[in-house]
Every structure is written in structure tokens, then in C-alpha cells.
Structure 1
Amino acid sequence: MTKPYVKQNIESEVAYIEFFHPAHNSLPGDILAKLAKTITEAGENDDIKVIVLKSGGDRTFCAGASFKELININDAETGKEFFSGFANVINAMRKCPKFIIGRIQGKTVGGGVGLAASTDYCMATKFSAIKLSELNLGIGPFVVGPVIERKIGLSAMSQIAIDANSFYEPEWAKQKGLFTQVYDSTEALDEAVKATAEHLCTYNPEAMIEMKKVFWTGTDNWDDLLAERAETSGRLVLSAFTKEKLKTYK
């Protein structure tokens, strides 16, 4: 079995940052920390002009938080620290001075939807249905909520957060502004991602930096906001409801 990883490959001034976990690309704390660090360093690397965020495997982009780690959270501080991992990745993407293209090849749940929403330009396949399942566990999409709301609006975000059992089709996500294009295959997606990323490399990097600042206007308080949201999730994951629910995932 392939071990979990975060790796970066630079081709034609494009950094392809890829994460993988055998449990449907779920995200434990160590993967989240590596992801935040890799994105930050890519933002500082002058050899890189554009970043592509992708995951390994075929039909799942990201299953969200690691259930194995959620089950083992037994105090509020550990809970806050775990959910802060998602906050740190979102903030790394927000602060990164380079455009980040999302390459979403398959189903995306919870924190994975937050990652997709944190990219600046997100492309997907027809297999890339999305779901915010957190309410099922007795918590909510608190950390990822602001970035998803920023992308698709409060109404659409609240709809999928309340309807926590349902996958929403890629076309729905495209209509709401999360995905720019939906492709019939991973091969077609990869071709389009590569062409888009390499074309962006021909533009003025200074213009892209200034555009990125504009796109993320109004998020300067997110270091504090997402830390508060991580605290909320960390508290709720200790509730009797959630502890009982998580037992069914053991």
C-alpha cells in the first residue's frame, strides 16, 4: 500500500503540489502541516510562477478530516490543534502570492471542499461531487465555512451544510462558482490544467500578485477567525453526540 505523502514537482515554472492518503485522501494532522509548509515555500520560490494543487488516486480528491485522528481527540486543546491544521492550509493558500489552480479529479467531502474553495481557479471532472458532512458527526463546517462561503455565497454554503447527507453534483458546484469547468475525464482535466497553468506563467507576475490581493480582500482577519472556528470544532468533537457517532466509524 502506498504510504501517505505530500510531494512537489516543478515543470515549466509550474509547481504541482500533490497529497495522498490511502484512506480516500483523508487529511491527518501531519499531512495538513506538510501541505501548509509546501504551499508557503512554493509561494516564496522565484522559480515558480503558478501552483497546481492536486491529490493522488483516481476518483476521490479528498475525504476531509481523518476519522482515525478525530476518534482519538480527548481534550479541547488537541481538538483545536487538529482543526487548526485545516485553518493553516487555508491561510497558506490565501497568503500565497501566486495563483493556485485546483485539480479536482473526484469526490470531495468536508475539509476537501474547503481546499477546493481556497484555490484561485478550480477545475474538476464530472466525478467531482461535493458534500459537507460535518453536521452528521455533530460538528459543522466551521473552519472551512468562510472560504466556501466566499466562493459560493452564504445561501449555497448553508444549503449543503444543512443537507449533510447529500452529494451535490459538479455542475451544481460550477453554477455556484466553485468550479470553473467540468471535464468528462481525468485525462481531459489534466490537459486543461497544464495548458491553463503554463499560459498563466506568460503573464506579468506582479500583476498576478496584485490581483490575488484583490481577490482575497476582506480576509485579513482570518488568522484569528479560523483559529476561533477551530476552537469551536475542537470543543464540539468532544460532545457525547459526536463521540457516540465516531464509534460507528471505528
Structure 2
Amino acid sequence: MNMTDPYVKQNIENGVATIEFFHPAHNSLPGDILAKLAQTITDAGTNDEIKVIVLKSGRDRTFCAGASFKELININDAEAGRIFFSGFANVINAMRKCPKFIIGRVQGKTVGGGVGLASAVDYCMASKFASIKLSELNVGIGPFVVGPAVERKLGLSGMSQIAIDADSFYDAEWARSKGLYMKVFETNEELDKEVIAFANHLCTYNPEAMAEMKKAFWTGTEDWDNLLAERAVISGRLVLSEFTKETLKRFA
């Protein structure tokens, strides 16, 4: 594999599955990576060898740049748009339904769909460089698919603040104060040390108890299969708007 090839990979050690995704364009998420991520999380949920999951991205800088601009630019009909945005819906729903606790490791800036991933984990730790931005309004769309997950963590006030102020990054301490991050670390080394220690400690608990707790934590989201699918249709329609097409041309 070339050093710059995109991937989703999983490593299992002492009951901890580390699922890592990477894309050379700042860990953006094209459709094939989203599909692999959803499937890997789903499979990990049914693997008895795995007690806890750690979700992370490759390299040291950006955690996730969100949707792939290359793919957004090439969407030319509503069905293609729906399918693309359904990729984010499928990952969030896979995380929601997975009976294992998922720990997020956010080492750097995260944008758009990446904020959705960070919001859909069960316990998230970050470095001080992990500022967040919901930039979708900038390109004429809106954080429709990831919105429910972000709102569940930040509350409606926090989510709407960053969704409307789509030009601004909000720093890691702001995200921690709103409940997105549990802990923020000075360095990635400290972050990694704490994530692994915490994951290993969780492996000493009763898996049945953790599965029941996870179900309880996600009570009230049972309609998300339908809700996020409906939201994907909205985003798929908006990506075809004249405003969005013109804006994406500038990014291209």
C-alpha cells in the first residue's frame, strides 16, 4: 500500500479494537471510506473478541475534514446526492447501534461530518489542537445528517451556534465545556496514553452491563434510521442548488 492511499483498518489487542481511517486530503470522507467505516464498526459490534472500540484517524494533524469536496463537486442528480450523504448517516447509525462502547480519539481539527463522528462516539478525548467547525452552510448545504448527533452532545444551543457561525473554528476547550470532549490533552502522546489506558480499563468491566448502558444512553434515537435518511435527501437536493454548485467551483 502506498503511504498516501486512503484506508480503513482495524487492529485488535487485548479486547480493544482500534479502527483507523485515513485519506490524504486531510482525512476527508469519500463514499467508499464511509461504507468501509460503517461496515467495520458493525462487524466489530458482533465480534466477541472485542470489548471496546477506539475510533481514530491517521497522521498527526487533521482528525477529519468532513465530506469529500471532490465527490461533492461531481454530484449531478438528487439520487447521487442522497446516496453520498447516506454514507454519513450509515456510519452514525452503525456507531449508535454498535453494542460496544466507542471511544473517540480526536488529535486535530475536525470539520463538518468529522464533528458528526466525534459526536457519535460514546466517550471522546482530544488534544488541544482539536478545534471544531460546522462549515456546511458555507457551501450552501447545512449539517442536516450529522445535526442530530451533534445536537445530542452539544445541545440545540451549541449545535445551532456553530452551524450558523459556519466560518469559525471553536477551540477544544469550548467543545469540552459543551460536553463533546471529556478530556483535552496538551500533546498527542498524552492523548494516546490516556485513550489506551482508559480502553484497557473498560475491558475489565462486564460486557453485558456496558451493552445495556449503551442502549440506555441512546434511548430516544430509535427513529434515526428514518430521520438521517430524510436528512440525506435534503442535503442531496441542496448540493444541486445553483448557489452550492457555484461555491463548490471556487473550492475546485
Please tell me the TM-score bracket, short chain as reference: over 0.9
Partner residue in 2 for 1:83:
85
Q: Aligned match of 1:224 in 204, 215, 226?
A: 226
TM-score for the superposition, normalised by structure 1: 1.00
Partner residue in 1 for 2:112:
110
Q: Aligned match of 1:134 in 125, 133, 136?
A: 136
Matches within 5 A, 1:19-34: 19-34=21-36
CA distance in 2, matches of 1:12, 1:107: 29
CA distance in 1, matches of 2:110, 2:42: 23
Partner residue in 1 for 2:164:
162
Aligned pair 1:63/2:46, yes or no? no
The residue type equivalent to 1:163 in the other structure is D
CA distance in 2, matches of 1:107, 1:6: 19
Partner residue in 2 for 1:206:
208
CA distance in 2, matches of 1:46, 1:171: 36
The residue type equivalent to 2:230 in the other structure is E
Q: Taking every aligned residue pair, what percent have the same amino acid on both sides? A: 78
Partner residue in 2 for 1:13:
15
CA distance in 2, matches of 1:213, 1:6: 26
CA distance in 2, matches of 1:216, 1:207: 14
The residue type equivalent to 1:167 in the other structure is F
* Residue ranges of structure 2 left out of the alignment (5+ in a row): none
CA distance in 2, matches of 1:232, 1:143: 9
TM-score for the superposition, normalised by structure 2: 0.99
Q: Deviations over 1:183-231 (max 9, x none)?
A: 0000000000000000000000000000000110000000000000000
CA distance in 2, matches of 1:202, 1:196: 10
Aligned pair 1:37/2:39, yes or no? yes
CA distance in 2, matches of 1:5, 1:176: 31
CA distance in 2, matches of 1:180, 1:93: 18
CA distance in 2, matches of 1:244, 1:57: 32
Matches within 5 A, 1:48-59: 48-59=50-61
CA distance in 2, matches of 1:23, 1:215: 34
* Residue ranges of structure 1 left out of the alignment (5+ in a row): none
The residue type equivalent to 1:114 in the other structure is G
Matches within 5 A, 1:180-199: 180-199=182-201
